[in-house]
Structure 1
């Protein structure tokens, strides 16, 4: 059963620029879905259309439907979408640098009135991220990039989401930290049953943990299906996974026009 459904969604900025063009995707309950594509393809815009964060950037969903747990959520404000169970971890982590990790977690728990429940959630997050517990009293601005990403994910988990949306969680991290972050994402999905919609440029790492994946280019979904099917596609491998041989782009005239995107 689909937890999240986007049906023929279009997003316009400043009522002029069409950034997302007829996108339809699904995220199953307890599913782990990757959304792949290059910079500027429309990945982050899709996440913001789900979380309701388009308006501050003068964007809007001009067409289509966004349904969550069977409910049309386009008319809901971002806080109401959070209360429905949608958590969005923005690109670049964006933790509150002047607060400690513990204070960051408390700041995300305003929807909970029971202090005992908030304490239990903090303990659960620190159990998932032992490194954060060790740095619980340090200022978040002094944490490493990997620790800040863990804090951003932990802060989202304080809302007890049904859907966790992650925008480029590997950005700017060393390879060993990327592996650790993706192991954590896989664990959250498998152990807590939280559905994950993962936006990533690191296609190899994303396809390694995802069950389903979509490929977006220039605001359109070009391909979707099982992650292993996309991994085995020769054009996807060449463009996003490094390929097995080098292409001399100077010798291949009009390469982009010739790209086949075989199904």
Structure 2
């Protein structure tokens, strides 16, 4: 069953620049889906379309439908969308550096609208990220980059989401930390049945944990399928997984690939 659905969505900034063009995708209940592509492909814009964070950047949905649990999301404010069960972990972590991890988690706790107590959700978050429990009284600004990313995800879990959207969680992290964080995300998905929509440039790491993926180029979905199928695709191998010949990426092969995909 589809939890999140985008149907032919078009988003423009300043009523001029088309950032995404007719994007359609689905995330099922309990599914893990990746949204792959290069810088500027429209991945972050797609997440902001779902979470309702386009307006501060002067973006708007020009056409198309976005539904979550069968309900139209577009008329709803960002807090209303969070209350419905979706949460967006923004690129760059954005933790409150002057607060402790405990206080960061408390800041995200919805209070009376929560199904579980703060202590229960905090303990669950620290069980997934034991490093944070060890640093619970430190200022978040003094945590390492990996620990801050863990805190950003843990803070999102305090809203008890049904859909966790992650924007570039591997950004700036060492491979060993990326592997650890992605493993924890997979564990959360399996134990809680929580759906995950993962935006990543690290295609190899993303395809190792998701079941399905969409590839964006120039604001359009140019390829989709199972993670296994995309791993085997020669274009994906050459341009996103580091395989194939190391030819001139920006000239002949790149031109031919995009011409074929966008035809």
TM-score, normalisation: structure 2: 0.95
Structure 1 residue 256, shift from structure 2 partner: 2.4
Cα deviation code 1:134-176 (max 9, x no counterpart) = 0000000000000000000000000000000000000000110
Alpha-carbon separation, structure 2, partners of 1:213 and 1:114: 32
Alpha-carbon separation, structure 2, partners of 1:68 and 1:114: 19
Structure 1 residue 258, shift from structure 2 partner: 1.1
Instruction: Check 1:102–1:257 CA distance in 2 against 1; reply closer, same or farther (3 A cut).
Output: same
User: What 5-or-longer segments of structure 1 have no aligned partner?
Assistant: none
Asked whether 1:231 is paired with 2:214, we answer no
Alpha-carbon separation, structure 2, partners of 1:193 and 1:144: 29
Q: Is 2:5–2:68's contact at 8 Å kept on the other side of the alignment?
A: yes
Which residue does 2:136 correspond to in 1?
136
* Structure 2 residue matching 1:136: 3-state secondary structure: coil
Alpha-carbon separation, structure 2, partners of 1:197 and 1:8: 18
Which residue does 1:84 correspond to in 2?
84
TM-score, normalisation: structure 1: 0.95
Q: Is 2:234–2:244's contact at 8 Å kept on the other side of the alignment?
A: no
Alpha-carbon separation, structure 2, partners of 1:120 and 1:85: 18
Asked whether 1:95 is paired with 2:98, we answer no
Alpha-carbon separation, structure 2, partners of 1:8 and 1:22: 4
Cα deviation code 1:68-125 (max 9, x no counterpart) = 0000110000000000000100000000000000000000003445797111111111
Which residue does 1:19 correspond to in 2?
19
Structure 1 residue 247, shift from structure 2 partner: 1.5
Q: Is 1:101–1:132's contact at 8 Å kept on the other side of the alignment?
A: yes
Which residue does 1:255 correspond to in 2?
253
Cα deviation code 1:209-239 (max 9, x no counterpart) = 0100000000000011111111100011101
Instruction: Check 1:249–1:15 CA distance in 2 against 1; reply closer, same or farther (3 A cut).
Output: closer
Which residue does 1:183 correspond to in 2?
183
Q: Is 1:170–1:202's contact at 8 Å kept on the other side of the alignment?
A: yes
Cα deviation code 1:168-209 (max 9, x no counterpart) = 000000110000011011111111110000000000000010
Structure 1 residue 127, shift from structure 2 partner: 1.0
1:169-248 maps to which residues of 2 (within 5 A)?
169-248=169-248
Instruction: Check 1:95–1:249 CA distance in 2 against 1; reply closer, same or farther (3 A cut).
Output: closer
User: What 5-or-longer segments of structure 2 have no aligned partner?
Assistant: none
1:43-62 maps to which residues of 2 (within 5 A)?
43-62=43-62
* Structure 2 residue matching 1:92: 3-state secondary structure: coil
Would you say how many aligned residue pairs link Structure 1 and Structure 2? 260
Structure 1 residue 261, shift from structure 2 partner: 4.9
Instruction: Check 1:221–1:116 CA distance in 2 against 1; reply closer, same or farther (3 A cut).
Output: closer
Structure 1 residue 248, shift from structure 2 partner: 4.3
Q: Is 2:114–2:159's contact at 8 Å kept on the other side of the alignment?
A: no
* Structure 2 residue matching 1:209: 3-state secondary structure: coil
Which residue does 1:149 correspond to in 2?
149
Instruction: Check 1:60–1:109 CA distance in 2 against 1; reply closer, same or farther (3 A cut).
Output: same
